[in-house]
Amino acid sequence: MTRKDSSLSRRHVLAGAAAGAAVGSLGLPAILGAQPAAIKVGILHPVTGPLSYSGTQARAGAQMAIEEINAAGGIKSMGGARLEALLADAQSRPDVGAAEVEKLNEAGAAAIVGPFASGIALATTQAAARHGIPHIVDVGVVDQVVTRGLANTFRFGPGLKTIVDTAIGNLIKINEGAGKPARTVMIVHEESAFGSGMATTLNAELPKHGFEIVETIKHANPTRDFSNIVLRVQARKPDLLIPSNYYDEYVLFARALQQQRVAPKAIYSILGGGASSYKFLKEFPQAASYVMDCNHWFDPRKAQALALKEKTEKRNLFFTYEVFLNYSCVYLLADALERAGNARRDAITAALAASTLDRHVMPYGPTRFVNGQNTGAQPVTTQILDRDIKVIFPLAFASGNVVYPIPERLG
């Protein structure tokens, strides 16, 4: 944990102190005395280390939500109590994440939002459970995060099984809709929990639906030269290519594919590190063209989502899923606080468990937690079309029509 986040500058404090003294001298101390105590919220992410980009984005999303909630008058049922962010850095390590939870506990955090990565989430939720701190997990897709019976853990986004099931379901619909042009699949994945878990699941599930997996290639993190892997893709000529890796590797792989003119019928990723990324789109529009991805995404039909996108971009940040998921998680917490009417941890936990929030920026139904998992959460399938990221599935949220098989992408 680092420091309290506050928009108050020294000048504001001095001005406030002077105003307070003036009000006091006028005999109106009751106004100041009525100001409710701020509610401390632990904002815990890996803002240093290998996951620092995602952690920084996630922190920004949470902070924007806190600013908005405070500007709108704080938590009304608690007399307008402000949310106060206690910023914490897990340094991309589970053990540091767990130690930060202890610090947040002692600093009086009413709840914790974070910590992006599954491995860190396993450690932080457990540490938080020891103190009964409600812990809203933003991403942390590995299913074990919510299957250990921890009553304090609430995952807002979908879990890995839901994501993979949805991705495969959407892929089948896309393929069948085009007359089943694709049969063979090649998977290229990174070596850690995320990529390996995905590859194992896909190897088990895709053959059940008539796809033949011709090869699965694992690569190290970091990998900077994908030319040999692309040569193997060229040799295998798969109909579908499924990359599963973090941002840098995803982008480098996509660029290498484009440079060597590898033309599968589709590049379809699941939680692709770069696929649903405005950064990738802006920097390498050709390599990004027509890439499909099943991922966390905002609801493009909601005005609140578009306003958040604009606000994020004004801060020179890319509108990534870390931003809007954490933004929504803070709103989820604020809603629970409104209903709880106090900042006691057990009351917040009970309010979260009974949450039916639909005022978020995601394409979800109202939140409904079953064993800590938001069953209303779902991923969507996106495709990069006309230099924009469009939702193509589910159709209820779609903002574009799928292009499949994809045309040749010229380098």
Partner 1 sequence: MNARLVMAAGLAAALAVPYLVRSDFWLGFLITVLLFAVMGMAWNILGGYAGQFSFGHAAFFGTGAYAAAVLHIGFGLNPWLGLAVAALAGGLVALVIGYLSFRYGLRGSYFALITLAFAEVLRILANWAEFTGGGVGLYVPLKVGIANLQFSGKTGYYYVALGFAVLSLAVGWALEHSRLGAQLMAIRENEDAAQALGVDTFACKLKAIALSGALTGIGGGFYTHYYLYIDPGIAYGPGVSVEILLVPIIGGLGTVFGPLLGSAVLHGAGELARRLMGDAPGLNLIFYGVLLIVMVRFMPEGLMGLVWRLRHRWRRVADA
Footprint of partner 1 (CB under 8 A): 1-3, 5, 47-48, 52, 55-56, 87, 89, 93-95, 98-99, 102-103, 105-106, 119, 122-123, 126, 130-131, 142, 144, 148-150, 190-197, 200, 218, 220
Distance, in Å, from the CA atom of 117 to the CA atom of 277, rounded to the nearest integer, reads: 18
CB of 220 to partner 1, least distance (A): 8
- Residue with smaller CB distance to partner 1, 67 or 102: 102
CB of 244 to partner 1, least distance (A): 11
- Residue with smaller CB distance to partner 1, 63 or 175: 63
> What tokens were used for 4?
């309290």
DSSP code of 377? Answer: -
Question: Which whole-number Å values give the CA distances from 146 to 168, 239, 371, in the listed order?
Answer: 22, 36, 7
- Residue with smaller CB distance to partner 1, 144 or 286: 144
Distance, in Å, from the CA atom of 141 to the CA atom of 194, rounded to the nearest integer, reads: 9
Question: Which whole-number Å values give the CA distances from 110 to 37, 84, 105, in the listed order?
Answer: 12, 10, 8
Question: Which whole-number Å values give the CA distances from 86 to 72, 112, 302, 330, in the listed order?
Answer: 20, 9, 29, 13
- Residue with smaller CB distance to partner 1, 126 or 269: 126
CB of 201 to partner 1, least distance (A): 10
The residues, ordered by sequence, that sit 6+ positions from 360 with a Cβ below 8 Å of its Cβ are 328, 331, 332, 367
Count of alpha carbons within 13 angstroms of residue 219, beta-carbon side: 23
CB of 317 to partner 1, least distance (A): 14
| Residue among 43, 54, 62 at smallest CA distance from 4 | 43
> What tokens were used for 316?
């020179």
CB of 48 to partner 1, least distance (A): 5
For the chain, what's the residue count? 411
- Residue with smaller CB distance to partner 1, 50 or 405: 50
CB of 225 to partner 1, least distance (A): 17
- Residue with smaller CB distance to partner 1, 118 or 381: 118
- Residue with smaller CB distance to partner 1, 220 or 235: 220
CB of 286 to partner 1, least distance (A): 31
Instruction: Give the bridge partners for 137, in sequence order.
Output: 114, 155
- Residue with smaller CB distance to partner 1, 87 or 351: 87
Distance, in Å, from the CA atom of 266 to the CA atom of 272, rounded to the nearest integer, reads: 14
CB of 372 to partner 1, least distance (A): 13
CB of 100 to partner 1, least distance (A): 9
- Residue with smaller CB distance to partner 1, 165 or 191: 191
Burial of 389 (0-12, 13-18, 19+ CB in 10 A): buried
Quote the Cα angle for 165-171-172, to 5°.
90
Burial of 140 (0-12, 13-18, 19+ CB in 10 A): buried
